Each structure stands twice: as structure tokens, then as C-alpha cells.
A and B are shown apart, each in its own frame.
Chain A
Amino acid sequence: MVKKLFKHEFLAQLRLWLPMQIILLAVALFGRIVQFFETDTTAYDIVFGSSVVIYVLAIFAAVMLTLIFGIVRFYKNLFSCEGYLSFTLPVTADQHIMVKTLVSGCAMFGTLLVAFLSFAVFTAGDVFIEVMKAAGYLIKRFIAEFGGANFVFYLIEGILFVSIGTLGCYLLYYACIALGQTFKKNRVLGAVGVYFIYYTIVQAISTVLMIAVSFLAETTFFEAIADFVDTCPEAFIHIVLCGAVILCTLFSALYFGIIRLIIRKKLNLE
């Protein structure tokens, strides 16, 4: 049943995701075609500049809409009247959350892939080859500086961080929606309110931490950290990346737990 749920979730996402990606590719293609008419005139500069701005906005819009589609799909499928049908399916709440999160994560990965493809279209030819050469050269220098083994592990840690971070981001919004359902009225507004309360708390904690760090900067503990960064920068990057992965995992688990608890114990569909 989970397989079917995945299939239908993917199909539902694709209905909105696919046209959006086609538009992104079309914008990139338009930008590339504009470059066929390259001349040293102000008119060309304006048209080309506009095509670049539109292209950048299209990438931003594609990423944002993918995020929004995932959140809206979660809300509509589980907490609106559609939820009555969804919860009759022989799958657990955990499976519902996992399927929604993973499919949304895949959609985001797909969007990033299409964004890269659109970049290839926008810069097709010499420019794209030169960009790839530049990226290759920077990687080569990075490997020369930090070593091949470190590079491979940074890459794995980076991919893990981005993947878990993306899923965690979706889970955060899902958790806010789930918490909004505990309100008696105006549940969507409640979800937005929960998100703003979360945001304010995070900002307050960050500010307090920054002030604390500035006060503690002169202490031996921080000096020891600074010495460690100087002497072992490679290890420090590993620690930062692994720390970020662990933190993201913990927070994701927390959000998952909140959603699970509300769906299992507090669900009260309108």
C-alpha cells in the first residue's frame, strides 16, 4: 500500500511540478535564444539583462513553489476534508508523514536538477564548458589543499546535510500545520502563528548565543577552539558538517514526533 501511496503522491506532485519545470526550461531557452542576437547596443543589453533577471526569478520561483506545493499537499491531503479519505487507507500515520516528506524532498531535488539543466541550456556552448572547467579546477585545488579522502567525506557530509536539511525544512512546516490543527478555529492562521512563534524563539536564541559568544570570545575555551581551527582546519570542517547533520536529524526527529503525536492523538478534522 505504501508503494501505491508513493505512486499517487508522486503523480499529484507531478501535476503541478512538471509545468513549472517546463516554464523554467522555456525561460532558460528564451535567454539562450536572446544571445543569438548579441550586439553592442543598449537595446540588447536591456533585453539580455531582463532575460537574466527573469531566469533568476524563475529559478527562485521554481524552488519556492516546490516548497509551497509540498506544504499545501500535506495540508490538503491530511487535514482538509480529503483527510477523511486519506486516513481510511491502510497505512499508519508514520507512513503518511514519511511518504509526504520523501516525495516533497524528491520534488525539491528534481527542481534543483532541472535548475542545473536550465543553466546548461541558458549557457549552452562555450560558456557552459568554461563554467564546468572552472568548477573542475576549483575542485582540483580543493583536493590539493585538503586531500582526496577529506573531499570525498566533505561531499558525503554535505549531501547528507542538504538532504536532511531539506526534509527537516518540510517537517518543520508540516509540524507548524499540525500544531495549527490543535486550534479550534482559524487553523491555517494558527499554523502561520505557530511558525512565527517558532521563528521568534529561534531568533531570540541565536541573538543570545551570539551575545554569549562575543562575551566568551576571550576565554581560554574559545582560544582553544581558535587554535584547533588554525592547526586542524580539515577536522574542524568535518566537525561542523557532522554537527550540522546531527542537529538537523535531531530537529527533524522532533518535528516528526510532533506531527505523529498530533495525527495519532489530537486529530480533529473539520
Chain B
Amino acid sequence: MKKIKRILATLLLSALALSLAGCAELDDMKAHHAVWGEERGTVLYNGAVYRALTPSDLLQIWDAKDVIYVTDKDVPVLLSRWYGSTMSVDKSGILLECHGYSAWGESELYTSFYCREDKYPEIDRQLQQGPDLSRVIYSYWDEEGNEKLYSLTADQIAAVEALLAGVPTESGIERYTLDEDFSFNLERASEDALFRTNLCEVSVDNREISLIKDVENDGLVEVYIVSAEQQPVFQKIIEAFAKMEWTGYYGPEIIYDENSFPDDSMDYI
């Protein structure tokens, strides 16, 4: 009897010891698992509550640090990727962007945002009142995949706005007819760059600089050519753009060597 007890105790202790080792893969899945709150109005993630924001085009997560899977409370973590909605988490961990609800056999497509509860009143107020989009920026990704922002100076912003306030040189043309050397987008942004909206595209074609603005979402654009007098201000913007440590960085000197530009601007991006 004593022997049986010893064997049983050994087996139980071994089972306990075996269950102590963790599993990094499972821990990772748990770290990327969130659950819906009541009626999908809230999300519980990483010990914080995220509340649904009023839908807005000004919000978009550009620098997602992670992707998580949001499921109902009763869905086990191992099935979160099959039964969960995919959400992006922004770098600061304040916003979650949901691209729709999907699970086996059912799916709903929409985009909605959820904000961490402690920041919710502030961000919701800005959304209701309209955020202050006083900055003009362009963003790029460094070689590590982190988003970097470049803010235009007050002079540069004034020059861009003055040009856009004028009469477009061409309008109604289709975007693909332009064959620029390279281009990049300027955005209006709030101080923390949380709210952004597209302002225009800066296009450089054989040293001629132009700003391109979408008319509608139908591929038609308005083109504003930068005049010779305005060139120095815009060249500063382009020079700063070229100095960025983006993937495929060519260096500022190439900006002025027209023969070195690749034929397709996509080669840069």
C-alpha cells in the first residue's frame, strides 16, 4: 500500500512538474486575443477597455504595431484566429481599428474604431468638434518599418496652401496619364498626427513640380504647377523628402540629377 502511494505521489508530482512549462506560441496567442464587450460596443484588450468611436474618415491607423483577434467571451484562444475579427492596434496602444466582423460562415464588412477608455473623452470630443488639423506632414517608413513624420514649416505650408487656393493648371484629367519621376502625399494632421486627411500629392516630373489634388474618388484630379518663383520653397520640401531614411533611399543629390530618376515612381515606394 505504501509503495502504491509513493508511485501515485510520484506520478502526480511529475504531472504537476510537466504542467509548469509554458508555451511561447500560446502566450503569444493570448497576448493577441481580445474579447468583445456588450453588443460589440466595447473591446477588452490587454487589461484595458476600448470604446467604439463615432465613424470618421479622419481616423486611420497607419503605424499598426500589432494585429489582434477579437472574439466573443466564450471563444477559446486557440480558435481566436478562426472565430475572431481582425483589429489593428496603433503604436501608442490608444486606438483599435476593426475591418469588419468575420467568422466561419458569417461576415460583415465595415471599418470602425475603438479608443482606450482613458483617452476616449478627449478623442471623442475632438471628433465631435472637428480636430485642429494645423500641421501638414508627409510620412514614410524607415528600414525597420517604423513610421516617421516630416512636418512642413509654416512657410512651406503657406506656399502649398497659396498654390492650392489658386486656379488649377489642368483639371479633370485621369491620374494614370501623369508620368512623373516620383511623388509623395501631403496630409493635413492634428498636433499628435492621430487625425489626418489627405491634402494633395507632390509630383516631380522632369524637374517640373506640381501638386495634384483628387477631385472625387473617380480617378480625376486637379493639377497645380509650381511656378519658377515658388520653386525654391518646394525644392526644400523635396530635398527633405529625399533625405528621409526610407527603403530604397537614393540620397538628395539624385533629386537634381534628372537622368538618375527611375522611370516608375513606384520603384521608390
61-87 of chain B: CB within 8 A of chain A: 74-79
Interface status of A127 (Cβ within 8 A of chain B): yes
**A74-82, A132-140, A214-222: which lies at the B interface?**
A132-140
- How many of chain A's residues touch chain B, expressed as a range? 10 to 19
Interface status of A182 (Cβ within 8 A of chain B): no
Chain B residue total in the interface (Cβ 8 A): 15
Interface status of A90 (Cβ within 8 A of chain B): no
Which B residues lie within 8 Å of A32 (CB)? 18, 21
A38 touches B19 (CB 8 A): no
Interface status of A124 (Cβ within 8 A of chain B): yes
B20 touches A125 (CB 8 A): yes
Which A residues lie within 8 Å of B21 (CB)? 32, 35-36, 38, 124-125
Interface status of B1 (Cβ within 8 A of chain A): no
Chain B min CB distance to A145 (Å): 9
A interface majority secondary structure: helix
The chain B residue sitting closest to A44, CB to CB, is: B24
B18 touches A126 (CB 8 A): no
Interface status of A191 (Cβ within 8 A of chain B): no
Quick one: CB contact mask for A109-142 with B, threshold 8 Å, 1 for yes?
0000000000001001111001101101110100
Chain A min CB distance to B104 (Å): 9
Chain B min CB distance to A136 (Å): 8
CA distance A36 to B21 in the complex (A): 5
9-41 of chain B: CB within 8 A of chain A: 15, 18-24, 26
Which B residues lie within 8 Å of A125 (CB)? 18-23
CA distance A124 to B26 in the complex (A): 13
Chain A min CB distance to B183 (Å): 41
A134 touches B79 (CB 8 A): yes
CA distance A40 to B25 in the complex (A): 11
Q: A32-B18, A125-B18 are in contact. Are A134 and B76 (CB under 8 A)?
A: yes
Which A residues lie within 8 Å of B18 (CB)? 29, 32, 121, 124-125
B76 touches A38 (CB 8 A): no
CA distance A136 to B78 in the complex (A): 12
CA distance A125 to B22 in the complex (A): 8
B26 touches A137 (CB 8 A): no
Best-buried of A29, A125, A131, A138 by chain B (most CB within 10 Å) = A125
B78 touches A126 (CB 8 A): no
A124 touches B15 (CB 8 A): yes
Which A residues lie within 8 Å of B15 (CB)? 124
B77 touches A130 (CB 8 A): yes
Chain B min CB distance to A125 (Å): 4
CA distance A35 to B22 in the complex (A): 8
The chain A residue sitting closest to B104, CB to CB, is: A141
A38 touches B22 (CB 8 A): yes
B23 touches A138 (CB 8 A): no
B23 touches A38 (CB 8 A): yes
Chain A min CB distance to B69 (Å): 14
B24 touches A137 (CB 8 A): no
> Contacting A137 at CB < 8 Å: which of B20, B22, B79?
B79
Which B residues lie within 8 Å of A130 (CB)? 26, 76-78
Which A residues lie within 8 Å of B79 (CB)? 134, 137-138
Q: Which residues of A contact B (CB under 8 A)?
A: 29, 32, 35-36, 38, 40, 121, 124-127, 130-131, 133-134, 136-138, 140
6 shortest A-B CB distances, which residue pairs? A125-B19, A133-B76, A124-B18, A134-B78, A134-B76, A36-B21
6 more A-B residue pairs beyond the given contacts A130-B77, A133-B77, A137-B79, with a C-beta to C-beta distance below 8 A:
A32-B21, A124-B18, A131-B78, A133-B78, A137-B74, A137-B75
**What would be 15 A-B contacts, judged by CB atoms less than 8 Å apart?**
A32-B18, A35-B23, A40-B24, A124-B15, A124-B18, A125-B20, A125-B23, A126-B23, A133-B76, A133-B78, A134-B78, A137-B75, A137-B79, A138-B79, A140-B74
